[in-house]
Structure 1
Amino acid sequence: MISRRSLLSLLAGTIAGAGLGPGLAQEAPFDLGPEQPGRIRAEKDAAAIARIPKDYRFAEPGAFIVGISPGGPPLATYATDARTVIGADPDLAQLVADSLGLTLKLVPVAWADWPLGLSSGKYDAVISNVGVTEQRKEKFDFSTYRQGLHGFFVKADSRIAAIREPKDAAGLTIAVGGGTNQERILVEWSKQNVAAGLKPIELQLFDDEAARLVSLRSGRSDVIVQPHAQLVFVAARDKDIKRIGTLSAGWPLKSDVAIATRKGSGLVDALTLALNDLIDNGKYRQALARWALEEEALPRSETNPPGLPKF
């Protein structure tokens, strides 16, 4: 997990990278201040509240305690005060808390620690870009709220128009994280291209985003691939790269991101209902739009859908 100091440095670089002085921070591509005046709010959802089991005990009476890993913008990060957690996932958590008539309290947690904290009842739910997998479903219930996507991005002046399937990437040099799910998918794409008589994909493996972006911007790579939301933030901040396609994180299967709750707690049905009502009344899409993540919107929330299989 990124430290608070590193995140504060990143946020400062965001403002500087946009050519802004201290008094012009509001012109940054996203609002990174702690107050979040533009955060979308919702009314109480009587139907969702009625679905909360009578015997369910919240971690704190009157509150919705949510575990969240502030790994980086735009999903979840520390604001410019290096203390307040903001982003698309906190916004979603606020909408759900509002719907249930509860006060939202976010608990920052290291990614590796969320399963133990949730199982022990330290918080009621985890809203932190958690993908649904069959293995996780053995211990947790899930209410889906966003597509899990990887993004194909190129330089703003690139002539590459779109990547939608393996043949579109034939012969391209693609920067990707070594040992990642994206690498696994692109290796399979390259094999399919070769089998079809097309050129293979040349993969350039890097350990961090900065190195991948340097490779793209210097022309050593044609394309960069990594989680979609991360590159949406970079594109909005720097304005020198653009998206030309997306890819399901579970390719060839679907991979959705979900709210995780304790298995059998009964809270999952209320959350799924609340999410679908937020989708219907437009609040859900408005919240995603604040962080330019409309591309990741789901048409409906599902309870415990098929998850990625155990590999």
Structure 2
Amino acid sequence: MRRAPLALAACFALTTSLAACGSDSLEDPGASGSSSSATESVDVKTDDELAAMVPAEIKEKGTISVGSDASYAPNEFLADDGKTVEGMDVDLFDAVATKLGLETKWSNGGFDTLIAGISSGKYDVSVSSFTINDERKKQVNMISYFDAGTQWVTTKGNPNKVDPDNACGMNIGVQKGTVQVDDLEARSKKCEEAGEEPIKSVVEQEQSKVTTSLASGKVDAMLADSPIALYAVKQQGDTLEALGDIYDSAPYGIVVPKDQTELADAIAEALKSIQEDGTYETILKNWGNESGAIDDFAVNP
């Protein structure tokens, strides 16, 4: 479905896979996911007023570089070619970029390196399921666009009787740099305070590896953002199942440099625009994630 980048003029009428509009191929291979089977089309056009809000240096080059960890299906993952970034976040931000009169250039990178890449100027923005929190807002600007919580997953039937509230001594998988790492650390500390064995966190660089570790029995359970966890269950329903309820819901944020307030404001306004014309809802439905829709697109909420 996704091929070589299209010229911006040809990208105003977009199909479900918006990432075809300006998404460059990547050199680094990685784990791929399965793209959405939905086919509802959307039609996105540049808004001249919004395009006028884009900082001159970005407007002049006509492209916006995006850093993302493409191992987090269905939000961002590599297509079957092992190079092209696609997913819900890609579709959403490509629609935003089109509103702003820009093409996107996606690059794959480790999740825990992306904010540093923003601060160093390696990327203009980063879109990679970043939960908005105070620590991140000290370093960058974040624009809210989706709401997600944490979900635990175990193997079918929960053979090891994992209880998220009492997982002491168990091997639990988690992706490096995520809010779930802190969650596990806090739970493990409670175990030790109660005189029990700490949780053995099995931390992987990529979420796809965390999921593989669970499916192969290397860990007893994993926890991840709810869209990612539930997608893994959907894809491997004969092997995995959700455990407990979603908790600690919080918004995801598009990341821009701390000094790029004009760009942050432009992105927030473009998000409002794709909500008003129905594009936002259509994209979320195409990926089965409409339950995470928000109606307040704010800078540093």
Same fold (TM over 0.5): yes
Give the distance between the partners of 1:201 and 1:302, measured in 2 at CA. Answer: 42
Cα-to-partner distance string for 1:88-141 (whole Å, 9 max, x where unaligned): 2211111101222x2322230424554455345554322222333434434432
Secondary structure in 1 matching 2:217: helix
For residue 99 of structure 1, what is the aligned residue in structure 2?
99
Call closer, same or farther: CA 1:128–1:157 in 2, change over 3 Å: same
Call closer, same or farther: CA 1:41–1:66 in 2, change over 3 Å: farther
Call closer, same or farther: CA 1:183–1:80 in 2, change over 3 Å: closer
Aligned pairs for 1:247-258 within 5 A: 247-248=247-248, 255-258=250-253
Give the distance between the partners of 1:45 and 1:211, measured in 2 at CA. Answer: 45
Call closer, same or farther: CA 1:120–1:37 in 2, change over 3 Å: farther
Cα-to-partner distance string for 1:146-193 (whole Å, 9 max, x where unaligned): 23432123445569xxx9xxxx84579673439874354356458889
1:175 aligns with 2:180: no
Give the distance between the partners of 1:116 and 1:131, measured in 2 at CA. Answer: 16
Cα shift at 1:203: 4.0
Give the letter for the 1:301 counterpart: F
Cα shift at 1:144: 1.0
Aligned pairs for 1:1-311 within 5 A: 7=30, 10-11=31-32, 30-31=35-36, 40-45=42-47, 48-49=50-51, 52=53, 56-59=55-58, 61=60, 63-72=62-71, 73-100=73-100, 102-111=101-110, 113-115=113-115, 117-119=117-119, 121=121, 123-155=123-155, 157=157, 169=165, 175-177=172-174, 181-182=179-180, 184-186=182-184, 188=186, 203-208=199-204, 209=210, 210-215=212-217, 221=220, 223-240=221-238, 241-243=240-242, 244-248=244-248, 255-265=250-260, 266-305=262-301
Call closer, same or farther: CA 1:194–1:109 in 2, change over 3 Å: closer
* Unmatched runs of 5 consecutive residues or more in structure 2: 1-25, 205-209
Cα-to-partner distance string for 1:274-295 (whole Å, 9 max, x where unaligned): 2123234332232223333334
Secondary structure in 2 matching 1:59: helix
Give the distance between the partners of 2:138 and 2:198, measured in 1 at CA. Answer: 38
Give the distance between the partners of 2:167 and 2:201, measured in 1 at CA. Answer: 16
> Percent identity among equivalent residues?
18
Give the distance between the partners of 2:176 and 2:66, measured in 1 at CA. Answer: 27
Give the distance between the partners of 2:119 and 2:264, measured in 1 at CA. Answer: 14
1:171 and 1:201 in contact (8 A); partners too: no
TM-score scaled by structure 1?
Answer: 0.65
Give the distance between the partners of 1:137 and 1:188, measured in 2 at CA. Answer: 22
Cα-to-partner distance string for 1:268-311 (whole Å, 9 max, x where unaligned): 11211221232343322322233333343323211112xxxxxx
Give the distance between the partners of 1:120 and 1:41, measured in 2 at CA. Answer: 34
Give the distance between the partners of 2:294 and 2:253, measured in 1 at CA. Answer: 11
TM-score scaled by structure 2?
Answer: 0.67
1:146 and 1:298 in contact (8 A); partners too: yes
2:188 and 2:199 in contact (8 A); partners too: no
* Structure with bigger gyration radius: 1
Give the distance between the partners of 1:113 and 1:194, measured in 2 at CA. Answer: 31
2:148 and 2:251 in contact (8 A); partners too: yes
Cα shift at 1:65: 0.8
Secondary structure in 1 matching 2:129: strand
Give the letter for the 1:30 counterpart: S
**Worse overlay, 291-300 or 183-192:** 183-192
